[in-house]
Chains A and B, each alone.
Chain A
Amino acid sequence: MHAIEGILFEPVGCLAEFPAEPFHEIATRLFGGRRKTSKSGSRAYWHLLNLIEAADRKLDPSEREMVESLEVQAVDGASAYDDVVPALSELKAIGTRLLVASSLSNAAVTRFLERSVPREHFSAMWSRDNAGGVKALPLRSALHCASLNPERTMFLTDTAEGLKVAKSVGVQSILMMNDPDEAKRLAMHDPAGGIVSLYELPDFVRLLAARNA
């Protein structure tokens, strides 16, 4: 793996543990069907993103409002991981560029940064609103606007879908391995790397720098 210049963060599952309920609710209200029961916020979220991507239609204003409101509810119910702020500070100090590349709405991302992680850690903030879509689109926008080489950029994720998206965009897919059983399953999807916790991220970046020196 090359030395890393930048890291893209999707808050859901990587910076904080999000509740699943609001995403299940959005999915049911937008697309109907049986409500999923998975307790995993990340899985609920990525399932919803798949539905959104497949539907490929613009939301009308009332739908937008409903979705944003529920997303904000999810953000309010999220608990940021303990090591987020120290890890991001350390990464910034060693010169790694940090960007938010999220499929959440602009409102939700902004709320998240207000509540959980100070905005100043990030050099750019991409949401589905300014990227014009979900999943790969925020990542591509972030890469393009920051002129980042995908091979020198990491994307953290804790779902199989997230790994697929990372690979399709060409960035280094880094598995968040906070749940060992889930991670064991996901490791079979061949991520480029994996960390048990965010506090390992700065050392990961340092190791790559030393190896590629």
Chain B
Amino acid sequence: MDAIQVEYEVLPFASTLKDAMATDAPDLRGGKGNLLRHANSPQNFPNATWAEQQGDLEQGFAEADVIREFTYRFVGGVSVPMQPSGSVAKWNGDQLTFWGMGQGIYPVRAALAAALGIDASKIRFINKWNGSTFGAARLAAERFYPLIAHLAKVTGRPVKVMLPKDQELAQLQIKPETITKFKVGARKDGRITAIEHEVFVSVGDLDSGGHASTPGNAQNQLELYTSLVPHWRSLWCAYRTNAPRPGPSRSYYQQETKWSWESMMDEMAEAVGLDPVAFRLMHITKPKPGDARYPYDSFPSVEVLEEGAKAFGWNRRNPTPGGAPGRFKRGFGVGMSQHHGGLMGYHEGEEAFQKLAAAPGAAVFGTELELGADGYVTMKVALPDSGSNAATALAHLVSEMLGFTNRNRIRLIWGDTDMAPSSDEWFGGRTITLQGAAICSAADKLRKDLLRRAAASLQVDVAKLQIRDGVISSTEDPKKTTTLYALAKANGGTIRQTGRGVSGGERTGSNKGVGACFVEVEVDTWTGDWRFLRAVYPHDTGLVINPLVAEADMVGSLVESTQVATDAIPWDREFPGTRHYSVGYLSYRLPTIMDVPKQTQLYIDSLEPRWFYGVKSFSETSIGAVPGAIANAIYNACGVRIREHPITREKIMAGLRAQGRRA
């Protein structure tokens, strides 16, 4: 077959919120209306999918000296993996070898087996390297797995699917179009008395779950700024549209909602005559020990802002927007982001572990450490890598626990069900946390096992042994030593230990992350051109396992979020209904090495005490702060306030023109 000809009948469609919310909008839900309402949607807010409130808004506004209303629109965005979505299926008799793309091995294998109606043990699933996945590529790749496996079976030949870039853009989940309305009241001294917050979000073909049901992780930012506000209300109104489906796209619920929060906080600060950092300090959550509402043992929101401002030189900011003289005007901006701090859980040996691991659907992470007679420790991890280099940090953990002063003795086997024990998939801060739990559990067992064997071999009390760079020796008699490889040799060549960790339980809820982004830009007021000069990225990171890997992650975070802020695919101007995107990179520009600013990472080591080595997830938190920070900096530089995302030179130019500037 050379081609399949398809005739399409174009039905009425609504690709934007405006179209979906119009009084004569096309009916996209069989008469139920385009607004999604669920069983637990608020009865007293019939135009909302979800609501939360506190106090009495009317009273709050009555107490205000200054009231302002704002509307912000986030047009949509997507993170595009460099690697195209693709996979390969090859059968050998009734055994399938499958090379996939995405963020999991065993769970994806299980899903594929279920789809094919075979036992999972008949599939060898391999996925090692991914040129980014961003969560979005899971859907884009995984939906094709059963199809190509089936084709490979019936044809008896290996089958590969590889999507062209423009088609991939129709499969990836996106950051959805979001319109946010604020009405904010504050007293003369700056204290906010009331916030009315309404969010309209385009949820594509979703009927429930994700953006279609609740604000999810977006509730973090709501919490960050309402914890000290007596009266507030937040409505989440999810609309069915014919836009692409929203979902993880390097995190979700972030830029689309925080764009508006960070812009609003700046505009309100200006309305009450306060500096944006001071205004935020006045209102951000500052949990106290024993605080039942915010039971976070570590939440250094104040430190993040203050240390960031100091490192950035915030006190040199010109408080007058566009106040700098001359053609080229510089500006400072800030944005904040609150998010989960990674997904916590328990490791083997802890009381809660057994019960959680035994529950149906438990997300259990496993590993095996194998010490060989050559003295190398092989770490087996059934997780794919997406460029984040988690394995380097995991190797760090193993090295440290086994007394090595470098990572040179650690080998890695990963991404293959034939070679590594079962682990769940990763997303949103599960690698160092939960795979790390499994790793540490195995390393702990291996260390104890080695010390026991050495104690027996050297006739020394275990408590009087030390282990360093592959050598175990007596602390009292340096002549009494043995080596790791000797112990392995004595055991027939290898010593193995496994370890497991499980997600869930109390710990996750008590863990929060917070970060900020300080930005300096320069605007050419004659042409609308702008440059991103530098950024300071302070984050509540807990313990940083490997600073280089952490820095790489943070640079990626800033670059990605800058891209989302400045060059969203203009799908609303393309041809909704036919193709949402015309091409890959001509309409979607990733910042290049020439556009990435000087960036300083500031790690606020808050040491999450409930997690056994104090680690926190942070590069997912960080992305939320960037778009607002850039918009705020541009406003400070030249007085042009961009409320409709993305931030473009065209909008800066149009804003300057409206101000009556040159040309």
Q: Which of A100-108, A183-191, A192-200 makes up part of the contact surface? A: A183-191
CA distance A184 to B578 in the complex (A): 11
B10 at the interface (CB under 8 A from A): yes
Asked if residues B10 and A187 are in contact (CB atoms below 8 Å), the reply is no
On chain A, the residues within 8 Å of B575 by CB distance are 184, 187-188
B577 at the interface (CB under 8 A from A): yes
Shortest CB-to-CB span from A37 to chain B, Å, is 10
Q: Residue on B with the closest CB to A187? A: B575
CA distance A32 to B349 in the complex (A): 80
CA distance A163 to B575 in the complex (A): 18
List residues 503-558 of chain B with CB under 8 A from any CB of chain A: none
Shortest CB-to-CB span from B336 to chain A, Å, is 38
CA distance A30 to B543 in the complex (A): 79
Q: Residue on A with the closest CB to B7? A: A190
Q: Residue on B with the closest CB to A185? A: B577
Shortest CB-to-CB span from A161 to chain B, Å, is 14
CA distance A189 to B578 in the complex (A): 10
On chain B, the residues within 8 Å of A189 by CB distance are 10
Q: Residue on B with the closest CB to A184? A: B575
On chain B, the residues within 8 Å of A187 by CB distance are 575
On chain A, the residues within 8 Å of B10 by CB distance are 188-189
CA distance A189 to B577 in the complex (A): 11
Which of A187, A188, A189 has the most C-beta atoms of chain B within 10 angstroms of its own C-beta?
Answer: A188
Size class of the contact patch on chain A? under 10
CA distance A76 to B575 in the complex (A): 36
Interface flags, B565-581, vs A, CB<8A=1, else 0 = 00000000001011000
CA distance A35 to B153 in the complex (A): 61
Interface flags, B1-20, vs A, CB<8A=1, else 0 = 00000000010000000000
CA distance A184 to B577 in the complex (A): 10
Q: Residue on A with the closest CB to B574? A: A184
CA distance A187 to B10 in the complex (A): 11
Shortest CB-to-CB span from A172 to chain B, Å, is 19
Shortest CB-to-CB span from A177 to chain B, Å, is 13
On chain A, the residues within 8 Å of B577 by CB distance are 188
CA distance A139 to B454 in the complex (A): 98
List residues 62-84 of chain A with CB under 8 A from any CB of chain B: none
Shortest CB-to-CB span from B581 to chain A, Å, is 15
CA distance A189 to B369 in the complex (A): 61
Q: Residue on B with the closest CB to A189? A: B10
CA distance A64 to B10 in the complex (A): 36
Interface flags, B220-232, vs A, CB<8A=1, else 0 = 0000000000000
On chain B, the residues within 8 Å of A188 by CB distance are 10, 575, 577-578
CA distance A146 to B362 in the complex (A): 77
CA distance A55 to B45 in the complex (A): 45
On chain A, the residues within 8 Å of B578 by CB distance are 188
List residues 160-188 of chain B with CB under 8 A from any CB of chain A: none
Q: Residue on A with the closest CB to B579? A: A188
CA distance A198 to B575 in the complex (A): 24
Interface flags, A18-31, vs B, CB<8A=1, else 0 = 00000000000000
CA distance A189 to B11 in the complex (A): 11
Shortest CB-to-CB span from A194 to chain B, Å, is 13
List residues 9-35 of chain B with CB under 8 A from any CB of chain A: 10
Shortest CB-to-CB span from B16 to chain A, Å, is 12
CA distance A184 to B10 in the complex (A): 13
Shortest CB-to-CB span from A180 to chain B, Å, is 10
Interface flags, A102-125, vs B, CB<8A=1, else 0 = 000000000000000000000000
CA distance A152 to B10 in the complex (A): 27
CA distance A184 to B575 in the complex (A): 7
List residues 564-610 of chain B with CB under 8 A from any CB of chain A: 575, 577-578
List residues 165-213 of chain A with CB under 8 A from any CB of chain B: 184, 187-189
CA distance A187 to B577 in the complex (A): 11
Shortest CB-to-CB span from B570 to chain A, Å, is 12
CA distance A187 to B582 in the complex (A): 14
CA distance A188 to B575 in the complex (A): 8
CA distance A184 to B573 in the complex (A): 9
CA distance A184 to B15 in the complex (A): 13
CA distance A89 to B575 in the complex (A): 35
Q: Residue on A with the closest CB to B577? A: A188
CA distance A191 to B414 in the complex (A): 53
CA distance A187 to B575 in the complex (A): 9
Shortest CB-to-CB span from B559 to chain A, Å, is 32
List residues 284-306 of chain B with CB under 8 A from any CB of chain A: none
Shortest CB-to-CB span from B10 to chain A, Å, is 5
CA distance A188 to B578 in the complex (A): 7
Interface flags, B611-647, vs A, CB<8A=1, else 0 = 0000000000000000000000000000000000000
CA distance A173 to B115 in the complex (A): 46
On chain B, the residues within 8 Å of A184 by CB distance are 575
CA distance A187 to B573 in the complex (A): 13
Shortest CB-to-CB span from A47 to chain B, Å, is 14
CA distance A188 to B577 in the complex (A): 8
List residues 15-63 of chain A with CB under 8 A from any CB of chain B: none
CA distance A189 to B10 in the complex (A): 7
Shortest CB-to-CB span from A78 to chain B, Å, is 27
CA distance A187 to B578 in the complex (A): 10
Q: Residue on A with the closest CB to B573? A: A184
CA distance A158 to B138 in the complex (A): 42
Q: Residue on B with the closest CB to A180? A: B573
Shortest CB-to-CB span from A188 to chain B, Å, is 5
Shortest CB-to-CB span from B158 to chain A, Å, is 38
Shortest CB-to-CB span from A99 to chain B, Å, is 30
CA distance A189 to B575 in the complex (A): 12
List residues 116-173 of chain A with CB under 8 A from any CB of chain B: none
Shortest CB-to-CB span from B13 to chain A, Å, is 9
Shortest CB-to-CB span from A9 to chain B, Å, is 26
Shortest CB-to-CB span from A170 to chain B, Å, is 17
Q: Residue on B with the closest CB to A181? A: B573
CA distance A94 to B575 in the complex (A): 35
Shortest CB-to-CB span from A44 to chain B, Å, is 16
CA distance A5 to B16 in the complex (A): 42
Shortest CB-to-CB span from A48 to chain B, Å, is 19
Shortest CB-to-CB span from B243 to chain A, Å, is 16
Q: Residue on A with the closest CB to B578? A: A188
CA distance A90 to B575 in the complex (A): 33
Shortest CB-to-CB span from A119 to chain B, Å, is 38
Residues of B that sit less than 8 Å from A by CB: 10, 575, 577-578
7 A-B contact pairs sorted by A residue (CB < 8 Å) = A184-B575, A187-B575, A188-B10, A188-B575, A188-B577, A188-B578, A189-B10
A-B CB proximity, top 3 nearest: A188-B10, A188-B578, A188-B577
